[in-house]
Amino acid sequence: MARKNNIGRRPTGTPSTGRRKGSEQVIEGDETLVDIVEVRDQGLDFFERNRNTIVYGALLLGALVAAFFIYQTFVKAPAEQTAAEQMQQAQVQFERDSFSLALTNPGQGYPGFLDIVEDYGSTAAGNLANYYVAVSYLNLGQYEAALDYAKTFNADGTLLPAMKYGVMGDAHSELGDMEAAISAYEDAVDAAGENYVTGGYYLNKLALLLQNQGRNDEALEAFRRLKSEFARSTEAAQADKYIAMLEMAQ
């Protein structure tokens, strides 16, 4: 009897390494079986069923990215530059202590801080103008207005927050709200962090106000802190006399 040709056949007793489904090879492991055709078809089917959603979503995302780029490049950046340029003359008057002029009519056709806030409030310069307005009103004796603009000012960084709270403390103090003033000065000292210039300045104000209010123990603690934590500040040089006076009063 002729022997069968076994060339290319799997020897008897050896494990199968795969199976065919149509013309596609399907890989089979010991425990899992992945049908490549089925996975591919499922992906295509999902795309077909959600084609509009996917396409419109991609277009919307692209439009949002483009709009953001256009706004940043052609709207926000020019507005920032314009606001900063327009505010320069008001800053000149502010440095001269000409606060009324700085607010409304700094000269040479430039707008005052109030107009800068109104026209460029969304810019960094417009935001900073709120601080200038607050300080100007504070110096003009319009304490409620000073407080309103100080609250509006969005202070960032390590210096401006302390200055904001300091202006609020001054306004509250002038309005006779000493509790609010003490709280604002405390916030100013906290915001100053390790900055001995602003920290020492507002801690000294806090200590003096506490002493003025008869809260001598708290005032003594504040002056001691001024001496120990902000020793490099100008105000710390005067702290010893207050410490000695308050200690004698105990």
Q: Confidence class of residue 71 from pLDDT cuts 50, 70 and 90?
A: very low
Percent of the chain whose pLDDT exceeds 90: 64
Q: How many CA atoms lie within 13 A of 231 on its CB side?
A: 2
Read off the pLDDT of residues 197-211 as tens digits, 9 standing for 90 and up.
999 999 999 999 999
| Cβ atoms of 55 and 48 closer than 8 Å | no
Kindly report the average pLDDT of the chain as a whole number.
Answer: 82
Bridge partners, residue 107, by sequence: 110
Q: Which residue has the higher pLDDT, 94 or 51?
A: 94
What CA–CA distance (Å, rounded) separates 167 from 136? 10
The pLDDT tens digits of the residues spanning 222-231 come to 999 999 999 9
Q: Can you state the angle between helices 178-192 and 196-212, rounded to 10 degrees?
A: 160
Distances (CA, A) of 28 to 19, 33, 36, 42, 171: 8, 5, 11, 19, 79
Q: Which domains does the chain have, with CATH numbers?
A: 45-145 (no CATH), 155-250 (1.25.40.10)
* pTM assigned to the model: 0.71
SS3 70: helix
